[in-house]
Amino acid sequence: MNAEKLQKLVGAKIKELRLKRECTQLQLTVKIVELGGKMDVTNISRIESGRTNITLYQLHRISEALEIPMKDFLDFELLEK
């Protein structure tokens, strides 16, 4: 699996879990900032679409804001080996 494919899978999982929480990208951004992180809506959009490589720290902040364990963001079916 190449990096681009992995970025898209992780981004799609973040979006899926965010939507299950009925949280908009703006609401997620506000929660991250309230928790002391730095993030903007544009960055959330790029992460969810797989256009940018998310850092572990960013994933941690998203995890905290959505109150979802980090491991859940990596729980997806690998389509390629």
Residue 66 structure tokens: 């959505």
* Residue 67 CB contacts under 8 Å (≥ 6 apart), including other chains: 21
> Structural domains in the chain?
3-67 (1.10.260.40)
Residue 9: its pLDDT value, please? 92
d(CA 77, CA 57): 23
pTM of the model: 0.88
- pLDDT tens series, the chain, 81 aa: 888 999 999 999 999 999 999 999 999 999 999 999 889 999 999 999 999 999 999 999 999 999 999 999 988 765 444
d(CA 44, CA 14): 9
